[in-house]
Structures are given as structure tokens and as C-alpha cells.
Structure 1
Amino acid sequence: MSETRLPFLKMNGLGNDFVVLDAREHACPLTHEQIAAIGDRKTGIGFDQMITIEPAKNGANAFMRIHNRDGGEVGACGNATRCIGRLLMAEAGLEHVVIETRAGFLEAFATESPTLVSVDMGKPRLAWDEIPLAEEFADTRAIELQIGPIDDPILHTPSVANMGNPHAIFWVDDIEGYDLERIGPMLENHPMFPERANISLAHVFAPDEIRLKVWERGVGLTLACGTAACAVGVAAARNKLTGRKTTIHLPGGPLIIEWRANDDHVIMTGETTIEFEGLLDLDSLTYEKTAPGDVVAEPVS
């Protein structure tokens, strides 16, 4: 190992996993190619997103920079915000912190459990040019978009929203009834989405209960996507499929989403887990584990 080694944490929010680097004192100048190599699950540490904690700006407790597994930078990640919120609150002995991202300021709040964290994800962006879409739609609760034959489409008429990232939600009766790994890339890169999009399959199976499966842009299939869960909660309420507070069941576990009526902010609550601590060699991009993480993470009841 060389001396150019960076300490890191491996964390996850319901299986949506991250490599976390602290760059508040020393910068972490990694190229997109290096980030992609570190994110490779066969040859690197493996992650959905790399999170860099940078010096605070504009009164925030920290700035959070987010790169997807392909090395591309994105504006927001709800599960990562919960994980970074947990770290910052524990570090400072606070019950509330403000985290700046490219998508704006996000607030994290402590709960009765140190591993269970709530995040104020702000207001959803619902206008067609805020998402953004390539065409104007007056109503984004359901837009004209389909994949497959015109007279028998595989999927059609998604709801769309932006929760720091663009999201398209297809309402289905069975989220496992579609090959999302095959059709996800096509929809992610559809001309309708000039900045690409996260693609979700959602099934309302009980009052205020939704099953969700997500193809995340620049990542692929993921066990959990916080901004997708927020977008789905908002879209379900807008379409009167649920109320304004829902439990979103992802492959990695549940998230509680509340779209508050008094200010239109979306509150997301869920578990966080520290998997292990390690050292990353910047020359070889190899790593070693230096300490274990959480013993258990209690599920959301």
C-alpha cells in the first residue's frame, strides 16, 4: 500500500450503498474514471453512489457531493442524505443538521433511534420544464409515453416528478411482471428525458402502502432509491391513489414518505447502516477494511 490512502466509510440506506469520503480538511481529487473503478462491484469497493463530504457553504453543516457508479455527478440522493445526516448529527451531538447539495439545502433530523433518520427533501418539482421533459405537458400526473407496440404497449402513461433527480413512475399491478433490467436503460435514455431519468415500477397494494422497484440512472437496479420513493409518494397522492403519507416498500426495506400539506415539503424516514470502515489506496484503487460497522440495523416498524 502507498501512503496516499484515504479513510472511508461503507454505508447503506436499506441496501442503497455508498462509499463516504470526508474531504472537509483535505480534498479528494478523483476522476470520473477512478470513481467508476472504485464503484465496480467485482474489482472495487462497490457502491451505488460515492459521497464526498465537503466544507460547509452558505451556513450549512456540510456540502454533500454525489457521484453515481458510472462516475457522473447528480444533484440529490435521499438515502445518502439520511446516512450523512446521521454522521454529522453524531459528530456534533446535534438533533438537526442542514446539508447542501447541488439540488439545494436538505435537512436531517434525529429520531428515537440513532440509526433511524428523517430528511426534509424539500418541495417536489412538478412542472414539465422543471423535471425536465423534452415536450410541454400541462399535467405531469400522467404523460404520453409508452414502450412497446402502439396497440399493446409494455408500459405507458407514467407520472413524472423531480425530487432532485428526474423520475418517471409507471403504475403496474405486479412490479416483478416486467424485465426492468432490460427496459430500464431504454426508458432512462428516452428522448423525453434530456437529463435522463430514474425509472420506477410502483404498485399500490393496500391503503397507503406501495411496492416499488427502481432502475436508477447511472446505477442500474438498486435495492432502494430515496428520491424515487419520494417521487412515488407525491405522484400517488396527486393521482389520489393514496393519502399524503405512505409506506414505500423497496427490495431493501421500507421508507415512510410524508408529503406535508402545510408547506408541500416531502419528509422521508428510514434506517441507515454503517457496514465497515476502510482505507482506500489512491494509486492502486485497492482497499482494506479497518473496522467493522453496525452490528444490526433495526427495521422500520
Structure 2
Amino acid sequence: MKAIKFTKMQGLGNDYVYINGFEEHVPDPSALAKRVSDRHFGIGSDGLVLILPSNKADVRMRMFNPDGSEAEMCGNAIRCVGKFVFDNGLCTKDTVQVETAAGIRIVRLLKDGGEITGATVDMGAPVLNPADIPANLPEGMEGKPFVNCPVMVDGVTYEVTAVSMGNPHAVIFLRGIDSLDLPDLGPKFEHHPLFPQRTNTEFVEVVSRSRVRMRVWERGTGETLACGTGACAVAVACVLNELTERSVDVELPGGVLRIVWDKADNHVYMSGPASKVFDGALSAWKE
């Protein structure tokens, strides 16, 4: 038996188990993700994050969902990665380059009294070409952008805007998001045939030109308190549908993220908190 040290961290309640891959070896991260994510028989989390050496950036991040599937990116998790590597001396710079399956992301750490309390992340340019999201346009919409497209679910037509922020998102604007039955509706979008690699789905209510509210059904996870890439996708979809300005506060159940889609460089910037919850050790892991 070998004990594996871990740190639980959260960004707006989007909580993950983080393991220092510079020191620890995880033989089967998919199986471990299932184990640690269980909120009754495990640690309890929205997934597992491995922080590993990189030959392209300061560190490499791998993220696994509670169902064991590997995701390309996680906006809330990458802020916590920045805090983790700084607090643990893996990188002593205020700006951390993090390699992800969606490419290298730049994490600028935010301090309060010398403590890392959050980060602003350059999330890169949004991907809007349907084939690259990937998303199949509804019949009759071929050759058009996937913006405000009609998608039928359970006999109801929803207007959907598809965006990739390194992972696929379907953004839906509607009123009354608090009353939605996401455990029923979310999986129907996640597994919809228009999304060949499944999709994260954001249900959004516009409050003003500078603020929106959202709930999210995350691919491979379910409803979570926050989704960083989802908030970025929502901000992009808001601009594409002429609903808000390019700088918007996105209110999630776990708190607020500030998202800016910069017109000058076409990059999306996400600012939000990152917190350590506790350290621990998994004492019954067999190689």
C-alpha cells in the first residue's frame, strides 16, 4: 500500500482533488478520479487534477471528471493550479504557464497581503467553427455559424449557441433558470447527437448589459456550482447574440466571475478566486 498526498482546492465551489505529480505517481487517474470524487465514500469533489512536469510550460495540468473521463480544460481548476504551484514552490513567478490538453494557458496570480487569492487567466481565443467545437449544425443550417440555432430536445425547441473554450459548450438563453430540472434536461443536451464529443451546457438569464446569471451541466460531472470555461463561453455567446458588452460579470451558484472578451487580441480573460480547503493522504491505494 502506498499513501498519496493530495490537496483539496476550490474556485467558486467548483472543487477538485489536486495531486503533485512531481512527487506522487498515480497509476490509474481515471479510477482514482471516480474514487476521490464520490461525496459519500470518497473525498468528495468535481474531479481530479494532476499537476505534472512539462517540457512546454512551467507545469502541465490533467483533469479527470467524476465518471473517469478526461477533460481538455477547466477554468476554475486552472486558477487553483496557479495557486498550488506558487504556494508549493513549483514556480515562483507571478505569472504561470500551464500546459493543458487545450493548449498553454497563462495564469496571472492575484495577491492580497502576500497571499495568492485568485488569478486572471488568458483563456485564449474562442473557437466558433462548428467542426472544431465539435458540433454538427442542425439540418438546413449547414454553412452557417452555430449561433442562436434551433435545437429540439424532448419536443421543445431551444435556441443554442455553440462555443469551444478548449472544450465544447452549448449556451442557451432563457428565463426562469432557477426552476429548470437540470438532472433531467442536462444529460439530454450533453448526449445530443449534434455534439459528437458530448457537451457542457449553460442555461443563462441576462440581467443587464454587464451581468448575467447561469447554471451549468458539466459533461461527465453533472450540475456544478461553477464552470470557468462555461462562463467564458457564455460571455462570448452574449456578445455574438448582442445581449451584453464584451466585459461581463457572470453570476454562478458559487459566486461571480469577471469575463472579458478582448476585441484587440480576440482572447477571453477570466478573473476569479482560488482557495485551498485542506491537505490529506490517500492511505489505501494499491499500485
The answer to whether the Cα contact below 8 Å between 1:137 and 1:143 also exists between their aligned partners in 2 is no
Q: Which moved more, 1:133-142 or 1:102-111?
A: 133-142
Establish whether residue 146 from structure 1 lines up as the match of residue 143 from structure 2: no
Measured in 1, the distance between the counterparts of 2:111 and 2:41 equals 38
The answer to whether the Cα contact below 8 Å between 1:57 and 1:100 also exists between their aligned partners in 2 is no
Structure 1, gaps ≥5 residues long: 286-301
Counting only pairs closer than 5 Å after superposition, residues 158-197 of structure 1 correspond to structure 2 as 158-197=160-199
Other-structure match for 1:295? none
State the Cα distance separating 1:282 from its structure 2 match. 4.2
Aligned match for 1:123, one of 122, 125, 131: 125
Q: TM-score, normalised to structure 2's length?
A: 0.93
3-state SS in 1 of match to 2:79:
helix
Which deviations, in whole Å up to 9, do the C-alpha atoms of 1:93-132 show, x marking residues without a partner? 3210100001100010022432121111111100110110
Measured in 2, the distance between the counterparts of 1:34 and 1:102 equals 19
State the Cα distance separating 1:25 from its structure 2 match. 3.6
Please give the root-mean-square deviation of Cα atoms over the aligned residues, in Å.
1.6
Measured in 1, the distance between the counterparts of 2:10 and 2:280 equals 15
Other-structure match for 2:37? 39
Letter paired with 1:33 = A
State the Cα distance separating 1:269 from its structure 2 match. 0.4
Measured in 2, the distance between the counterparts of 1:254 and 1:176 equals 16
Letter paired with 1:95 = D
Structure 2, gaps ≥5 residues long: none
The answer to whether the Cα contact below 8 Å between 1:89 and 1:96 also exists between their aligned partners in 2 is no
Letter paired with 2:225 = L
Measured in 1, the distance between the counterparts of 2:193 and 2:169 equals 14
Measured in 1, the distance between the counterparts of 2:86 and 2:124 equals 19
State the Cα distance separating 1:31 from its structure 2 match. 4.7
3-state SS in 1 of match to 2:78:
helix
Establish whether residue 30 from structure 1 lines up as the match of residue 2 from structure 2: no
Aligned match for 1:75, one of 65, 72, 79: 72
Q: Which moved more, 1:190-199 or 1:107-116?
A: 107-116
Counting only pairs closer than 5 Å after superposition, residues 98-247 of structure 1 correspond to structure 2 as 98-113=97-112, 114-135=116-137, 136-149=142-155, 153=156, 156-247=158-249
The answer to whether the Cα contact below 8 Å between 1:167 and 1:228 also exists between their aligned partners in 2 is yes
State the Cα distance separating 1:26 from its structure 2 match. 3.9
Other-structure match for 2:13? 15
State the Cα distance separating 1:233 from its structure 2 match. 0.5
Measured in 2, the distance between the counterparts of 1:21 and 1:98 equals 18
3-state SS in 2 of match to 1:76:
coil
Aligned match for 2:61, one of 61, 64, 68: 64
Q: TM-score, normalised to structure 1's length?
A: 0.89
Which structure features the higher share of strand residues?
2
Q: Which moved more, 1:126-135 or 1:6-15?
A: 126-135
State the Cα distance separating 1:161 from its structure 2 match. 0.2
State the Cα distance separating 1:137 from its structure 2 match. 4.8
State the Cα distance separating 1:39 from its structure 2 match. 1.1
- The percent identity for this pair of structures is 38
Measured in 2, the distance between the counterparts of 1:137 and 1:27 equals 46
3-state SS in 2 of match to 1:145:
strand
Which deviations, in whole Å up to 9, do the C-alpha atoms of 1:259-301 show, x marking residues without a partner? 111111111000111110000124379xxxxxxxxxxxxxxxx
The answer to whether the Cα contact below 8 Å between 2:4 and 2:24 also exists between their aligned partners in 1 is no
State the Cα distance separating 1:17 from its structure 2 match. 0.4
The answer to whether the Cα contact below 8 Å between 1:22 and 1:54 also exists between their aligned partners in 2 is yes
State the Cα distance separating 1:27 from its structure 2 match. 2.5
The answer to whether the Cα contact below 8 Å between 2:36 and 2:47 also exists between their aligned partners in 1 is no
State the Cα distance separating 1:76 from its structure 2 match. 0.3
Which contiguous aligned blocks of 4+ residues in structure 1 show a shift greater than 4 angstroms?
Answer: none
Cα gap change, 1:9/1:137 in structure 2, threshold over 3 Å: closer, same or farther?
farther
State the Cα distance separating 1:35 from its structure 2 match. 2.1
Letter paired with 2:202 = S
The answer to whether the Cα contact below 8 Å between 1:128 and 1:137 also exists between their aligned partners in 2 is no
